[in-house]
Chains A and B, each alone.
Chain A
Amino acid sequence: MTTIDLDELLENLAQCRRCGICRNAVYEDKGFDGVCPVWKNSAGFETSFMRGRIQVALALLDGRLEKTEENAESLFSCTLCGNCTSICAAEFDPAKCLESVREVLNEIPNAVRDTIAKKILENNNPYVDENKTRRDWVKEVGFDIPGTGEVLYFTGCTAGLKLPETAKSTAKVLNAAGVNFAVLEEEPCCGSVMIRTGMVEEAKKNAEKALEMIAKSGAKKIVVTCAGCLKTLREDYSERFGLDVPEVLHMVEYLKPLIESGKLKLKKSSEIKKITWHDPCHLGRALGVYEEPRDILKAIPGVELVEMETNREAAMCCGSGGGLRSYDGNLAKKIASDRIQDAEAIDADILATACPFCEHNLKDGANRIGSKIRVVDILDLISKQLQ
């Protein structure tokens, strides 16, 4: 079963005129300096950017190409970053179409995709068997965090289980701003990666379960620190699954007015000099949140915010989205190294972002090339500047 209208999808795919603009366009006036991070960081065959992916998708759909794992590789070697959509001159959204193709063709074998979905359904996260451990960080913040309340901090699997520093920082910042907030006793996965990899039926089941748990907490507002959770909870739950979700805000959206009104005061930084902002695709291109994080960084006294060559709508991706990090880890890290080099080119000391997925991959990308740039989550940065 799929939620996709196949005729509509085919009509949309037919809008691709195969111009190739989505490969490596440099369009200085609009800020593009290359488009597809996968094409740029792989051998460079046609199948490594959107034009080729669409041709493969059409051929798989109409039977010209056999539905094998190898033939479907190009559908998955894509971060769904949406840079192709940003520049495409035709009247359709190629990255969104590719996501739909993954759903329609999800009978094609793909062990990585299936394992992730299975783990999420079984364990409520894609990483560990014991989901309860994702709340362990709460013990280290020095104050109690209830499991119910009007403002819910939805931590997300990656911050909860892999980068707990971000979760702790967020708690400290919320506390400093005088916000009473809750963290679920046993938080589920939002299911983002299932949606992106085409396991939408499973994602729907997961979403219903997650929303039930959220509802039990009494939340009227959800704050997140993961761009993937944000897009999923804010957009996919309502638009795809018709679920009624409380207001969802990324912490950068939530904090900006608190900082501007003086409720949250930041002190001068002695160690941060030049800082650059990496736009997570799900926060920026997908939801148009570009200025809030920049305004926050500029509000830290002593910080010089510098922009990388590509930013905002034309920002190059970190490499970890769309399931690519699991599907082809080496490629994902290579893309991350490339992004780190963008930050090196402008002599940034720190690259800040607002997505644990980006942070995790960019850190690996920096290590891979021995870069000295510090990759940090914006919440970690703010928590150190609390007055």
Chain B
Amino acid sequence: MDNVVVQKLIAIVGEDYVSTRQDVLLAYSTSASMSYDTVLPDAVVLPQSTEQVSEILKVATQYKIPVTPRSGGSSLQGEVIPKEGALVIDLLRLTEIEVFPDLRSVTVGAGINFGKLDKLLNKQDLWLPVYPGSSLTATIAGNVAVNGSGFGSSQFGCIGELVLGLEVVLPNGEIIQTGSEANPNAPGPFLRYAFGPDITGLFIGSLGVFGIITKVSLKIFKRMHHFDYNTYGFNTPQEAEKFVIQCKENEISPVWIAIYEGRILDFFLEMVGEEYGVPKYEWPPITVSMVIGRIREDQLESDRAEAQRICVEEGGHVIGIAELPKGEWDDRMRELARSSYVHGWHWRILYHHVTPSQWHRTIEEMWPLFDEFGVLGHTAGFQSDHSSYNYYPQIFFDPQDAEDESKAKAAHKELVKRLFKTGAVPFKLAPYWVDGITEMEPYLNFLKDLKEAIDPNGIMSPGTIPGIEGED
């Protein structure tokens, strides 16, 4: 990177917080994404305030330097791997937190991770009831940038549903505030859909291509303390799907619902069954693991009975093994890491949402495709909202075997195409989704127009959503 630019960055943040060292650049050339090529940036900068972010983006705009915003670096689909010559802006020094108890909301800086906020809110018997499996590393802003979901989403939706407003630095360095806080006289965040169109939504799942989120304001809730953990067995996927839909329809409050095919459950339990104390059992073809959470015990009692009634009505039986859902829920900040790392494989992941009624379709596409490409893998998932189910098939490979890895890549690419045809949707436009998408030209063209209007120099995260970029 041109020394003039480096000096300007140093003038903004101080010498200690800018680096062009080879070892540092190397560490920023990668992320938790497995099976993505590393790319060295030219420099890394660590701002401490929104104003510093703004000054940095002004410099980047002036010199047309590609920028990659980075928070936890825990994303799994190559999103945060920089472009060659890029400036990485590491946002972990933005660490303010302000709680607004009367507004039932909180504002966090871009550097705050889920675990940190959870501990603080817990002291006030509150919570942000979405826990991605990466809660110990992912930031809330980073999760908003990918519109993630997690434990709690079965009841409260993806993270985007909880966002009340954002502070964003646009590519030209201008700072905007969305939601009710756009009014400088507002007592804090209390309404997202204020002041016309939902500008907040533009940045949710945007992967940083429209600007850098420096603060996120979110709804928070009284913490639940009454939980029911149970497992429900079914002979067919369709019975299990109906059970889930009916539970939601009847206002049961499930903070966690996961549907397991028999062989996947066996695999999962082989990894963490003992850790979670799950007893040995002849599991049925399909098992639903569910945690119902409530503020009041009487509500929980009523939900528990209703879930059991629905289960039987849909042709299932109540298994009664609580250790599986309890183990998953209690380990919610780390469960996904634990269960995905313990077997030693590396994997390529394919996040997508389907409706619970279509749950069986992903499985139907996945297994034959694995056979066709000669790869191993499995899938996990959970109910992620009102009527959506977040799936994440993982395709395994040996990181020290290039051929194995390329097979995994090819299978992954093809699976996107097939899943798109089943009606599945992504929650962010990772590059492989853009490749797999057909029949959506007007939508993508509109996004492209927006990108050109907001980021005319195309400096923000180029290549991250390839389909919406200009021709150069």
Contacts and interface: CB of A to CB of B under 8 A. Distances in A.
Given A19-B32, A65-B23, A43 B334 contact: no
A21 B26 contact: no
Q: Which of A26, A65, A71 is the most central at the interface, judged by chain B CB atoms within 10 Å of its CB? A: A26
Interface in A85-143: 87, 89-91
Interface string B395-419: 0000110000000000000000000
Contacts of B21: 70-71
B119 interface: yes
Contacts of A21: 134, 136-137, 334, 337
Contact of A89 (B30, B115, B337): B337
A17 B32 contact: yes
Contact of A20 (B19, B23, B32, B118): B32
B32 A91 contact: no
B334 A89 contact: yes
Nearest to A25: B136
Nearest to A11: B400
Interface stretch (B54-62, B257-265, B293-301, B338-346): B338-346
B64 interface: no
Given A14-B400, A17-B346, A33-B119, A64 B73 contact: no
B27 A19 contact: no
B346 A24 contact: no
A245 B26 CA distance: 43
Interface in A14-41: 14-15, 17-21, 23-29, 32-33
B119 A26 contact: yes
Q: Which of A14, A21, A27 is the most central at the interface, judged by chain B CB atoms within 10 Å of its CB? A: A21
A347 B334 CA distance: 32
A47 B23 contact: yes
A331 B134 CA distance: 29
A28 B120 CA distance: 10
A55 B26 contact: yes
Given A11-B400, A20-B137, A46 B27 contact: yes
Q: Which of B19, B119, B134 is the most central at the interface, judged by chain A CB atoms within 10 Å of its CB? A: B119
Contacts of B31: 18
B27 A47 contact: yes
Interface in B1-31: 16-17, 19, 21-24, 26-31
A218 interface: no
Contact of B136 (A26, A56, A74): A26
B23 A91 contact: no
Interface in A329-351: none
Contacts of A25: 113, 115, 136-137
B183 interface: no
Given A28-B119, A89-B342, A19 B74 contact: yes
Contacts of B17: 43
Contact of B26 (A64, A70, A73, A91): A64
B333 interface: yes
B165 interface: no
B90 A20 contact: no
B89 to A, nearest CB: 13
A313 to B, nearest CB: 14
Contacts of A73: 23
A26 B115 contact: yes
B168 interface: no
B44 interface: yes
B122 interface: yes
A18 B341 contact: no
Contacts of B330: 29
A43 B26 contact: no
Contacts of B32: 17-20
Interface in B284-322: none
Contact of A56 (B27, B137, B340, B400): B27
Given A24-B113, A27-B136, A56-B27, A14 B399 contact: yes
Contacts of A11: 400
B472 to A, nearest CB: 30
A91 B116 CA distance: 25
Contacts of B334: 21, 27, 89
A288 interface: no
Given A24-B113, A89-B338, A46 B28 contact: yes
Nearest to A73: B23
B211 to A, nearest CB: 22
A44 B90 contact: yes
A27 B136 CA distance: 7
A59 B26 contact: yes
Contacts of B122: 28
B92 interface: yes
B93 to A, nearest CB: 6
A52 interface: yes
Interface in B32-56: 32-34, 44, 46
A27 B333 contact: yes
Nearest to A58: B26
Given A21-B137, A28-B122, A87-B136, A74 B23 contact: yes
A330 to B, nearest CB: 12
Contacts of A185: none
A371 to B, nearest CB: 23
A23 B136 CA distance: 9
Contacts of B400: 10-11, 14
A69 to B, nearest CB: 11
B115 A71 contact: no
A65 B330 CA distance: 41
B30 A18 contact: yes
B400 to A, nearest CB: 6
A66 interface: yes
A148 B340 CA distance: 55
A11 B122 CA distance: 39
A45 B22 CA distance: 12
B22 to A, nearest CB: 6
Given A46-B28, A56-B27, A17 B134 contact: no
Nearest to A46: B27
A91 B344 contact: yes
Contacts of B458: none
Contacts of A72: 23
Nearest to A34: B116
Contact of B344 (A15, A32, A74): A15
B72 interface: yes
Contact of B27 (A28, A55, A70): A55
B143 to A, nearest CB: 13
Contacts of A52: 24, 27
Contacts of A74: 23, 27
Interface in A286-338: none
B26 A17 contact: no
Closest 6 CB pairs of A and B: A52-B27, A46-B27, A25-B136, A89-B337, A26-B115, A20-B137
Given A19-B134, A24-B92, 10 more contacts: A15-B344, A18-B33, A18-B34, A20-B32, A45-B90, A47-B24, A47-B27, A52-B27, A65-B23, A71-B21
22 contacts: A14-B400, A18-B33, A18-B34, A19-B134, A20-B73, A23-B72, A25-B115, A27-B136, A27-B333, A28-B122, A33-B119, A43-B17, A44-B46, A46-B27, A51-B73, A55-B30, A59-B23, A70-B22, A71-B21, A71-B23, A74-B23, A89-B334
